[in-house]
C-alpha cells in the first residue's frame, strides 16, 4: 500500500488536570470522524489521542490531595478515557506521557540532539508564569507584567537550562512550508506561522530545574525535560519511533495533527524544527480549529457556562452532539454553542430530514412491496437525476474532507437527503400504487432505498450509532462501519428484505424542552424558598436607581429594647455609617464583625428604636416551618470597599 492510502491523525494530548469540556470533545470528534471516513475510503488509518501528565500543575494538585503525582494522573486520566467511550471515539491508541515507552523516546531524542550539538547548556533568565510554566517575552506580556494566557502576575526567574538550537533549522522549515501550502491549515494560520518564522525565532529552553514532576535528563538528573518538549514527542512514540521502525515507517510520513488555534506555534514551529534536527519528516499538515463560545459568551468556570460533554451526550445522545459540533460552524472558525441551536438541528436535520426519509421509505416498501426492495428499471429522468446527484455527492464529500471542511461535507449529504424527500412528493408513490402503475412504483421504491443505503455510508463517520441503526433497518448484513464507500453500486440493493421502521431520532417537543429547562416552582417550595411569589416587573432604570455597594461590618452593638435589631457600624471605604438590621436572632455579634456584605447605600434614613439607620444590609432567607435561616450576601472575592454592585 502506498502512502496515499495511509493516514495517521492525532489530537493534542490533553492536560490531564483539566475537566474534559466541549473544546476537548470537538477536537477529538473531528479526528474521529476523519479517521472513520478514511477507513471507509479504504485507508489504513491510525488515530491517536492521549493525555499530557507531567508538569507543575499536576505536582501541585497532587500535593494538595495528599497523593503522589503518579497516583493522581492514574486516576484522573480516566475522565478522558470515559468521555471518549461515551462519544463513540474510535481511537486506535491512547498514549500517556508517564508511560515507560514514552519516557524512553523522550530521553533518547534528547540525548541524540545533545550528542549532535543541537541541545546545549546555558542559563535562562526571564519573566516567568508559574501556573503556565512558561517564560513570557517582554513583547507579549500583558499589562503590569502579567501572563498573556492566564492574566496572572509574572515573576523573574533565572535557572540553568538546556537549549534547543531551534534557530538553526528555521530556513529549512520556511523552505518546506513554501513548497507545502497544506503544511498548516487553514490558510490564515499558515500565514500567521510564516510571518512568525520570518521574525526572530529564538533557541528554546527545553529543561527545568524548578520542578520535579517530569522526565529526568539522562546524565544530568537535576533537570527535567520541559513539558512541551516532552509532550510533542508523544506523536512519534505512539507509532513506534524507537520500538517499531516498521510501524513508524508506515504511519509517520502521513501524519496530520489536529489542534486548537492557541497551540499552533508549538505544533507548526517548535515540533517541526525538532523533527528536522532529528532527521525525521515534518507532518503533512497541522490543522487548526477555532474556539467555542456559549450562547455568545466566552466559556469560563466563573460564569458557570462550561459545556459538559458528558451531560450533552446524556441529554441528546452522542450522535446529535457530534453532528451539531461539526455541522454548525465552518471548521477553523470560532463557533457558538447553544442548546437551543442543538435542539433545532436535531429536529430539522436528524428527525425531520433523515429520520422521516427512512421512515417513509421503509413503510412504503413494507406496504407496497411486501417488505422486499423491488428491482426497478431506474431509467425515469427523475431516477437518473437522483442517482447522478448521489454519485456526485460521494465525490464532492471527498473533496470537502480533503480540506477538513466537515460542515461542507454535511451540507452536501443533506442536500442529497433533501432531494430525496422532494422526490417522494414529486413521484407520489401512494398514487402510483392506487393507479396500479407497478413498474414505476418499483423504480421509485428502489431509488429511495438506494438513497438511504448510500446515505447510511456517508453519515456513518458523523453519527456512528444512528448509521448502524439505519443499516440494520435497511436489512443490510454486518456493520456499516466495515463497509467501503467506493464499493457502493447503485441498484445492488434490490431484493433485500428490510427490517421494520423504528424512529431514529425522536423529535424534541420544544414546549416541554423549555419547561424542563425552567426551574420548577414546586421544587423550590419543597426547599422552603419563596420562589412562587414574584414582585411586579421593573425596568433596568428602576433597578439602577438602587445603589448597592460592598461594605464591611466593623462593629456590632445590641439594642437593649429590641429582640431583633442590631446596631451595625459599616465601612463603605469612603465613609462609615450606622445601619440597624433585623438579624439578631440569626447571628452572634462575633459572627458579623469583620464580615463583608452588600448594602443599599441610598435608602432614605429611618429611625428604628430611636436610632437613625442609613441603609440596609442584603441577606437571603429561607423559611422552613418554625425555623428561619438567614445568610448574608457578600462578594465572592476580595474587592475594595465601596465597589458598586450592579
Ligand atoms: Zn499564565
CATH number reported for the structural domain that contains residue 402 in this entry:
1.10.730.10
Distance 457 CA to ligand 1 centre (A): 45
Distance 61 CA to ligand 1 centre (A): 16
Cα separation of 461 and 29, whole Å?
A: 10
Task: Residue 84: give its domain's CATH number.
Answer: 3.40.50.620
Last residue of a domain, one of 289, 318, 352: 289
Distance 136 CA to ligand 1 centre (A): 9
Domain membership of residue 297 (yes or no) is no
What single-letter DSSP state applies at residue 270?
A: I
Distance 147 CA to ligand 1 centre (A): 5
Closest C-alpha among 257, 300, 35 to residue 151: 300
- Residues 105-126 have a mean pLDDT of 95
What single-letter DSSP state applies at residue 168?
A: G
Distance 151 CA to ligand 1 centre (A): 6
The reply to whether 108 and 253 lie within a common domain is yes
Distance 117 CA to ligand 1 centre (A): 31
Distance 57 CA to ligand 1 centre (A): 11
**pLDDT attached to residue 523:** 46
Distance 55 CA to ligand 1 centre (A): 14
pLDDT tens for 569-608 read: 998 888 889 999 988 888 888 888 888 899 999 888 888 8
Distance 407 CA to ligand 1 centre (A): 34
Closest C-alpha among 149, 181, 189 to residue 333: 189
Highest mean pLDDT among 120-134, 285-299, 327-341, 388-402: 388-402
Burial label, 305 (beta-carbon count in 10 A; 0-12, 13-18, 19+): middle
For residues 293 and 337, is the Cβ–Cβ distance under 8 A? Answer: yes
**pLDDT attached to residue 531:** 44
The reply to whether 82 and 213 lie within a common domain is yes
Cα separation of 467 and 458, whole Å?
A: 9
DSSP-assigned states of every residue in 178-223: HH-GGGEESHHHHHHHHHHHHS--PPEE-EESS-SSSPEETTEEEE
Give the 3-state secondary structure of residue 231: helix
Distance 374 CA to ligand 1 centre (A): 65
- Residues 480-484 have a mean pLDDT of 98
Domain membership of residue 499 (yes or no) is no
Distance 81 CA to ligand 1 centre (A): 27
Distance 144 CA to ligand 1 centre (A): 13
**pLDDT attached to residue 399:** 98
- Residues 266-293 have a mean pLDDT of 96
Q: What is the pTM of this model?
A: 0.79
Residues with CB under 5 A from ligand 1 (ion): 129, 132, 147, 149-150
pLDDT tens for 526-568 read: 444 444 456 777 877 778 888 899 998 989 988 888 888 899 9
What single-letter DSSP state applies at residue 283?
A: P
Domain membership of residue 212 (yes or no) is yes
For residues 543 and 638, is the Cβ–Cβ distance under 8 A? Answer: no
φ, ψ dihedrals at 76, nearest 5°: -80, -15
The reply to whether 379 and 244 lie within a common domain is no
Number of neighbours of residue 248 by Cβ within 10 angstroms: 18
Distance 142 CA to ligand 1 centre (A): 10
pLDDT tens for 131-184 read: 777 778 888 888 889 988 788 999 998 889 999 999 999 999 999 999 999 999
Distance 207 CA to ligand 1 centre (A): 18
Domain membership of residue 496 (yes or no) is no
Residue 425: half-sphere exposure toward Cβ, Cα within 13 Å: 5
The reply to whether 138 and 225 lie within a common domain is yes
For residues 56 and 84, is the Cβ–Cβ distance under 8 A? Answer: no
Domain membership of residue 495 (yes or no) is no
Query: What is the signed CA dihedral for 13, 16, 20, 26, rounded to 10 degrees?
Result: -10
The reply to whether 150 and 274 lie within a common domain is yes
pLDDT tens for 354-367 read: 999 999 999 999 99
The reply to whether 548 and 457 lie within a common domain is no
The reply to whether 355 and 272 lie within a common domain is no
Domain membership of residue 633 (yes or no) is yes
What single-letter DSSP state applies at residue 346?
A: I
Bridging pattern class, strands 611-613 and 606-608: antiparallel
Distance 231 CA to ligand 1 centre (A): 18
Q: Cα angle vertex 98, ends 117, 267, to 5°?
A: 55
pLDDT tens for 486-522 read: 999 999 999 999 998 899 999 999 999 988 887 655 5
Distance 153 CA to ligand 1 centre (A): 8
For residues 161 and 205, is the Cβ–Cβ distance under 8 A? Answer: yes
Task: Residue 611: give its domain's CATH number.
Answer: 2.40.50.140
The reply to whether 344 and 478 lie within a common domain is yes
Instruction: Supply the mean pLDDT for the chain.
Output: 91
Cα separation of 456 and 416, whole Å?
A: 12
Distance 131 CA to ligand 1 centre (A): 6
Domain membership of residue 529 (yes or no) is no
The reply to whether 198 and 74 lie within a common domain is yes
DSSP-assigned states of every residue in 305-336: ----HHHHHHHH-HHHHHHHHHHHS-TTS-EE
Distance 271 CA to ligand 1 centre (A): 21
Distance 150 CA to ligand 1 centre (A): 4
Residue 624 has pLDDT above 60, yes or no: no
Distance 163 CA to ligand 1 centre (A): 21
DSSP-assigned states of every residue in 395-456: HHHHHHHHTT-HHHHHHHHHHHHHHHHHHHHHH-HHHHHHTT-HHHHHHHHHHHHHHHHHHH
Distance 134 CA to ligand 1 centre (A): 7
Domain membership of residue 333 (yes or no) is no
Distance 132 CA to ligand 1 centre (A): 4
Maximum CA pair distance of the chain? 100
- Percent of the chain at pLDDT > 70 equals 96
Cell numbers 499589562 correspond to 143
Distance 82 CA to ligand 1 centre (A): 29
Last residue of a domain, one of 289, 316, 351: 289
The reply to whether 256 and 144 lie within a common domain is yes
- Residues 267-271 have a mean pLDDT of 97
Last residue of a domain, one of 225, 258, 289: 289
Distance 129 CA to ligand 1 centre (A): 5
The reply to whether 209 and 343 lie within a common domain is no
- Number of structural domains, the chain? 3
The reply to whether 182 and 79 lie within a common domain is yes
> Which domain does 551 fall in, by range?
540-645
Give the 3-state secondary structure of residue 620: strand
Distance 133 CA to ligand 1 centre (A): 7
pLDDT tens for 205-255 read: 899 887 789 999 989 989 999 889 999 999 999 999 999 999 999 999 999
DSSP-assigned states of every residue in 476-525: --S-GGG--GGG--TTTTTTPBPPPP--SSPPP-HHHHHHHHSPPHHHHH
pLDDT tens for 441-467 read: 999 999 999 999 999 999 999 999 999
- The residue that leads in pLDDT, 390 or 545, is 390
Distance 42 CA to ligand 1 centre (A): 44
Distance 312 CA to ligand 1 centre (A): 30
Those residues whose C-beta lies under 8 Å from the C-beta of residue 404, and which sit 6 or more positions away, are: 30, 34, 185, 287, 331, 332
- Residues 412-422 have a mean pLDDT of 98
Distance 288 CA to ligand 1 centre (A): 22
Amino acid at each position: 500500500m502506498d502512502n496515499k492510502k495511509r493516514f495517521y491523525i492525532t489530537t493534542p494530548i490533553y492536560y490531564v488536570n483539566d475537566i474534559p469540556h466541549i473544546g476537548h470533545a470537538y477536537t477529538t470528534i473531528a479526528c474521529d470522524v476523519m479517521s472513520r471516513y478514511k477507513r471507509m475510503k479504504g485507508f489504513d488509518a491510525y488515530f491517536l489521542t492521549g493525555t499530557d501528565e507531567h508538569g507543575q500543575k499536576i505536582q501541585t494538585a497532587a500535593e494538595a490531595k495528599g497523593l503522589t503525582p503518579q497516583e493522581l494522573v492514574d486516576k484522573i486520566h480516566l475522565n478522558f478515557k470515559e468521555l471518549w467511550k461515551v462519544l463513540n471515539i474510535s481511537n486506535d491508541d491512547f498514549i500517556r506521557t508517564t508511560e515507560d515507552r514514552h519516557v524512553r523516546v523522550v530521553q533518547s531524542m534528547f540525548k541524540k540532539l545533545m550528542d549532535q550539538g543541537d541541545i546545549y547548556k546555558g542559563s535562562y533568565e526571564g519573566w516567568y508564569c508559574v501556573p503556565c510554566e512558561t517564560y513570557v517575552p517582554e513583547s507579549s506580556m500583558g499589562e503590569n507584567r502579567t501572563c498573556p494566557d492566564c492574566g496572572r502576575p509574572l515573576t523573574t526567574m533565572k535557572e540553568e537550562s538546556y537549549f534547543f538550537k531551534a534557530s538553526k533549522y528555521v530556513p529549512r522549515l520556511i523552505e518546506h512550508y513554501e513548497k507545502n501550502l497544506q503544511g498548516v491549515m487553514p490558510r490564515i494560520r499558515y500565514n500567521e506561522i510564516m510571518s512568525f518564522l520570518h521574525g526572530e525565532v529564538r533557541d528554546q529552553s527545553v529543561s527545568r530545574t524548578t520542578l520535579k514532576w517530569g522526565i529526568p535528563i539522562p546524565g544530568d538528573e537535576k533537570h527535567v525535560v520541559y513539558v512541551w518538549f516532552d509532550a510533542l514527542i508523544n506523536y512519534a512514540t505512539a507509532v513506534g519511533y524507537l520500538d517499531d521502525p516498521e510501524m513508524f515507517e508506515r504511519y509517520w510520513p502521513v501524519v496530520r495533527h489536529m489542534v486548537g488555534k492557541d497551540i499552533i506555534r508549538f505544533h507548526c514551529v517548535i515540533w517541526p524544527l525538532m523533527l528536522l534536527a532529528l532527521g525525521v519528516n515534518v507532518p503533512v499538515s497541522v490543522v487548526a480549529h477555532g474556539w467555542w463560545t456559549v450562547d455568545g459568551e466566552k466559556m469560563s468556570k466563573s460564569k458557570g457556562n462550561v459545556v459538559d460533554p458528558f451531560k450533552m451526550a446524556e441529554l441528546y445522545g452522542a450522535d446529535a452532539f457530534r453532528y451539531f459540533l461539526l455541522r454548525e460552524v465552518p471548521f477553523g472558525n470560532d463557533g457558538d454553542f447553544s442548546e437551543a441551536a442543538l435542539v433545532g438541528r436535531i429536529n430539522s436535520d436528524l428527525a425531520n430530514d433523515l429520520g422521516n426519509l427512512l421512515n417513509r421509505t421503509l413503510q412504503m416498501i413494507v406496504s407496497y412491496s411486501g417488505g422486499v426492495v423491488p428491482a426497478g428499471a431506474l431509467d425515469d429522468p427523475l431516477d437518473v437525476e437522483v442517482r447522478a446527484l448521489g454519485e456526485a455527492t460521494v465525490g464532492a464529500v471527498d473533496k470537502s474532507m480533503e480540506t477538513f471542511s466537515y460542515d461542507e461535507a454535511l451540507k452536501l449529504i443533506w442536500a442529497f437527503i433533501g432531494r430525496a424527500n422532494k422526490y417522494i412528493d414529486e413521484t407520489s408513490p401512494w398514487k402510483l400504487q392506487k393507479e396500479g402503475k407497478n413498474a414505476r412504483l418499483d423504480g421509485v421504491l428502489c431509488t429511495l432505498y438506494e438513497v438511504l443505503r448510500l446515505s447510511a455510508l456517508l453519515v456513518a463517520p458523523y453519527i456512528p450509532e444512528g448509521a448502524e441503526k439505519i443499516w440494520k433497518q435497511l436489512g443490510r448484513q454486518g456493520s456499516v462501519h466495515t463497509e467501503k464507500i467506493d464499493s457502493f453500486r447503485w441498484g445492488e440493493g434490490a431484493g433485500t428484505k428490510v427490517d421494520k421502521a423504528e424512529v431514529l431520532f425522536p423529535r424534541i417537543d420544544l414546549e416541554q424542552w423549555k419547561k424542563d429547562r425552567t426551574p420548577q416552582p414546586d421544587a423550590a417550595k419543597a426547599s422552603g424558598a419563596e420562589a412562587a411569589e414574584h414582585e411586579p416587573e421593573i425596568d433596568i432604570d428602576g433597578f439602577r436607581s438602587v445603589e448597592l455597594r460592598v461594605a464591611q461590618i466593623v462593629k456590632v452593638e445590641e439594642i437593649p429594647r429590641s429582640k431583633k435589631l442590631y446596631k451595625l457600624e459599616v465601612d463603605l471605604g469612603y465613609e462609615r455609617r450606622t445601619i440597624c438590621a433585623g438579624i439578631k436572632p440569626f447571628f452572634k455579634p462575633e459572627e458579623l464583625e469583620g464580615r463583608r456584605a452588600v448594602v443599599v447605600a441610598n435608602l432614605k434614613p429611618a429611625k428604628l428604636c430611636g436610632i437613625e439607620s442609613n441603609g440596609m444590609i442584603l441577606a437571603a432567607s429561607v423559611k422552613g416551618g418554625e425555623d428561619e435561616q438567614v445568610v448574608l450576601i457578600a462578594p465572592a472575592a476580595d474587592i475594595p470597599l465601596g465597589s458598586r454592585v450592579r
